[in-house]
Amino acid sequence: MLFLPPVDTANLNAQSLNVREIALRLDPERFQATLWCEHDPDPRLREKDWIHIKRLPEHRRTVHILAEMISGYDVIAYMDYSPASYIFVRLPRMLRGGAKAVLHAEGIQELANTSRMFRFLYRGVCARCDSYTGITQFVAEDVHKKLGKKVCHILPVGVDTNFFTPPRARQNAVPVILFAGAVVERKGPQFVLDAASRFPDARFRIVGAARESFDEVLRQKIVQLDLQNVTLEGPKTQAELREIMRSSDIFLLPSRLEGMPKVSLEAAATGLPCVVFSNYQTPSVVHGVTGFQVGTTQEMVEALGRLIVDRSLRDQMGRHARTHAEQFSWDAIVPEWQKAYLEIAAQTSI
C-alpha cells in the first residue's frame, strides 16, 4: 500500500494523523505500507518493519510521486487532488500496474470558494478513482448524489483512547469552553466570540492554526466587543491539545461542513460533552446523551447555556462521551479498514 498524506510529526492535518494510526495497526503478515514525509516522520513509524518511509524531494515532486505510484502497489490510499493523482488516474491500466486508487471521502466538499485549479483537479481525480469510501453514511450519500459514485465501504475514523483520557476531576471555578480546529471562517470560530459575549462568566479558548489571516479578524472583533473571557492560543501539538481538553469543560464546534470531526472524538475521549451542528449527522456525538446536535445558532446558544449552568449535566454527558468514544478506538476501527483494503486489492480492474 501507498498512503499519500505526509506523516511528519509536526503535521497536524487530520488525514496525516489518521494515516499514522492506521499504518501502525496494520497486520504485518498481510500488509506492507509506504508513507511519505517532508522532514521528520512520526518516530513511532520507524519502529515498524512493515512501514517504509520515503522522503519527498523539494523539487519535481509530481514526477517523484507519480513514479512511486506506478512502481507496483496494490492499493494507493487517501488519493488527493494533486497533479500526480490527476495524471495517475488517467494512465492506461497497464501502466498503473493494477494499483487501485482509493478516494476516502471525509466530509461534505464545497467548491464555491476554491481556486479554479483545485476544482479542476478535484473533479478530475474524483471521476476516475477505483474505489470510494465514506467516513459516515451521510457522507457516502453525498458522494453518490454529487459525484454519482457508489461508496463501497463506510470507514469511520478512530481515536487513541489510551492517549486521550479524562482527568480525575474537573474543578474549574468557571466553565471553560473549547474550540479546536482550523481558525478559518467556515469552521465557525467567529461564533465562539458571539457565545463569549452572551456568557461573560464563562471562559472561551480558541485553539488551532489560523488560515487566510482569520485570526486577525477575530482579534479585531475581540477588541471591538471588549471580550475579556476569550483567548486565541494558536496551533498546539497533540499532547498539548490533550491537556487543554482535559482542563476544559465543554467542546464547541460551530462548523456546518464536516464529516465526522476527529477533534470531536478526541474531546469525547477526554470526557467533554460536545455541541455541534446536526447538518452532517456525525456519529461522534449522540444528541442528548454525549452532547447536543443542533440545527440553528439559537439552538446552539441554548444547548451551550444548559451545559454552562449545569455542572452535573456536563459531568454526566462527559462520562457518556468517554464510553461512546471507546467504540471508536483505533484498535477497534482499524480491522474494518484492513478488511476494506483487502477487498479493494482483490477487485478485478475494469
Q: What pLDDT sits at residue 114? A: 82
Q: Which residues pair with 294 in a beta bridge?
A: 277
Phi, psi of 342 (to 5 degrees): -65, -40
Q: What pLDDT sits at residue 347? A: 87
Alpha helix segments (H runs only) across 184-329: 189-198, 214-225, 238-246, 262-269, 297-309, 311-326
Residues (pLDDT < 70) of the chain are 112, 349-350
Give CATH for domain 176-326: 3.40.50.2000
Phi, psi of 317 (to 5 degrees): -65, -35
- Provide CATH 3.40.50.2000 ranges for the chain: 2-157+330-346, 176-326
Q: Which CATH superfamily is domain 2-157+330-346 in?
A: Glycogen Phosphorylase B; (3.40.50.2000)
- pLDDT per residue as tens digits for the range 98-154: 899 999 999 877 776 788 999 999 999 999 999 999 999 999 999 999 889 999 999
- pLDDT per residue as tens digits for the range 285-301: 999 999 999 999 999 99
Helix (H) or strand (E) run with residue 341 in it = helix 330-346
For the chain, first and last CA: distance in Å?
20
DSSP secondary structure letters along 210-251: BSTTHHHHHHHHHHHHT-SSEEE-----HHHHHHHHHT-SEE
Helix (H, G, I), strand (E, B) or coil at 82: coil
- Edge-to-edge strands, sheet with 203-207: 230-232, 203-207, 176-180, 250-253, 274-277, 291-294
Distance from CA of residue 92 to its chain's centroid? 33
Residue 111, number of CB atoms within 10 A of its CB: 11
Q: Which residues pair with 102 in a beta bridge?
A: 131
Written as nine digits, the cell of 298 is 439559537
64 burial (CB, 10 Å; 0-12 / 13-18 / 19+) is middle
Going through the chain in order, the beta strands assigned E by DSSP cover: 2-6, 33-37, 51-55, 75-77, 100-105, 131-134, 153-154, 176-180, 203-207, 230-232, 250-253, 274-277, 291-294
Q: What pLDDT sits at residue 112? A: 65
Q: What pLDDT sits at residue 107? A: 83
Q: How many degrees, rounded to 5, is the angle at CA 29 between CA 28 and CA 32?
A: 50
Q: What pLDDT sits at residue 350? A: 53
Percentage of residues in the chain having pLDDT higher than 70: 99
Going through 45-99 in order, the beta strands assigned E by DSSP cover: 51-55, 75-77
Residue listed under C-alpha cell 513511532: 44
